[in-house]
Structure 1
Amino acid sequence: MGGNEELVFLNATSQTISSPLSGYDVDINEMPLRASLIEDLDDDDASGLQITLEEEDGAIIRVRNPEGASAVGFANRLQKAAFSANMNLDIRYDEDDEELTIEHREYGFTKGFTITSSKDGILVDDPFEPQLFLGQDIEGTINDEPAEGDGLVLTGDFKNSKTSGLSVAFLGDGTGNAGTVTVAQNALKFQSGTSADEQIKVALNSTHSTVLGRGVDNTSGFENLSQSRLTSTQEAIDAIRLVDEALDQLSSMRGQLGSVQKHTLETNISVLRSSAEHLTAAESSIRDTDMALEIANFTKNQIITETAAAAVAQANQTAARVLRLLFSNNAHNHWSFFAE
């Protein structure tokens, strides 16, 4: 990566084209955001307050503050319940400003939460009406080609001529040019058909611990799986997030290889097996045809041979009959076939 240490290379596919030495420029148009709620909450508001907090595709908790209990007590109860449910949310309370903050730890449109409050205008607009809070995906381009944002990650559109499948994560805090990414395409080529241009490329990404788990924003400052430690509760939480990301990356690699195996290799094997069966059937038909021809020729030659033998035998019998006839008509005279 060039120009910015906050730009992290994640992945490239077999469709990604090698970049020039200067790399591909990465430009950020919109920053990613976390889903968050920041609302005033004093002791009167917190007294007797009950909320339901549900993480998108995650856990759900219900917390009730007793009558007369403080806002600090409510925040502590909420933090404890969220931690016990292993929710991916940070909950903070500022006593000076009397302000409650609930924030998702991950960026993106799919990372959010829903809150339902028992009091009108406390934390949400309407009582007993769930209100959804969502984050925002990053927006930008790679090499001036469109890229799809997913949280902190930009991935080149599959239709791009050069950056298809190229993924980078931006961990900075500003828009504009984020730096460059340099890519060398070393995908393996395999002949997949009978034509010269029937080839496939297979890119095998590194599975080293220094590569897996990249691009995860975390409090502990872990840049990859190899840096994870378990010396504190926060480090353990961040390590779990890196492990989850590493598992997702491995699953993606397995999916890509499985797709090549199923849609290319197994398909070709099936076609070759079918072709082999057809060739065997054709060979059998040809052999049957050759056998029939040879039998016909043998029969013809046998008929000719037997006919010739019969003709010779018939000719011999005719000569014998002529001699017998001559001798029978000249019973008392002697015939001479020799000159005197």
Structure 2
Amino acid sequence: MLVLSQLTTRATIRHARHALRTGLPKPRAANKPRTLVTEAVQQASNGFLDLALAIPFPEYIPPYSGTIILLTIASRLVFTVPFSIWAKKRQWKAEEVVVPQLKNERPAIFQRVLEDMRKEGFRGTKEEAQKEHTKRAKPLLQARQKELSKEHGCSMLPTMLIPPITQLPLFVGTSLMLGRASLPPTVLDSESFLTFTSLSHGDPTGTMPILLGVLTFANVEASRFFMTPEARQREQQVAEWTAKRRANGETVIEPKKIFQTTLRIASLGRILIALMVPGSIQLYWVTSAAFGLVQTWVLDWWDYQRRRSRTLTEETAAAASASPKKSPAEAPAAVTRSQTNKRVLRIKQ
């Protein structure tokens, strides 16, 4: 009886969709000339509605809401997670290969700059000489870092830009598809879910837009949850170094802080934008933000465990190399019983 009831319900929804498509007047958007983009969005919208009826959801899960959540998770797993892992591995290569090699080459670069200053006959106070030395060495270090990053295939710009760029078409395309599916007349108008009274209208309570802003803000701050003590100490040293340079009148640009501040402001902007879109898009955005937060936590936890393992390995190796080797006189008398018996027999003989 339960299966028969589900089939009857789905058949009723199909008939309702057919009636909405043929019997009711078409929306104004349909009178506009169709383009390749609008046609693709319309086809994707129809495919989404058909897929929602084809998936055998339980009765307590609304078909269209469940399909939005399922499609969001599946698309993020297929299209965004691989690029995020790719970027994380490039970041590890930069930290484990490029940074140590650049650190080893830094004294030679400093020495070369110092020799050039001596050849040019630079004159000035100690502070002026240090400032000039730093000014000349900085572009050389940056150029060498770019060369090493390119050589080892871990350039910073592609690592930072490719993951969000690959996610953007998916995000925009899915939002357009759901927006088209929510245009009246639509069957989404009759489905409610959580705080939504209808998927074709926004959340009347404003809960979902606020939740979207909270998830976006948490995603920005998530990287601090799994910071190692060494990373926190290094961050504090960088902050002190930056404050000291600014006190000396230097202009210091911190791209990471600028990027994080921009994302914090964007989390508030997403709340305002989400208030103006249909409930189907709000549900998609909230699900995508929640998935992104979990993905960030997992990758940061993976990074934390990797750093911790490396630190323990380095400490163990350093302790083993620093410990003095014991001489035979200091070594414990670890003689086996057979060797002891042989010595006793020799004494007796």
Q: Could you say whether these structures have the same fold, taking a TM-score greater than 0.5 normalized by the shorter chain as the test?
A: no
- Structure number with greater CO (CA < 8 Å, separation at least 6) is 2
TM-score range for the pair, normalised by the shorter chain length = under 0.3
**TM-score, structure 2 normalization:** 0.27
**TM-score, structure 1 normalization:** 0.28
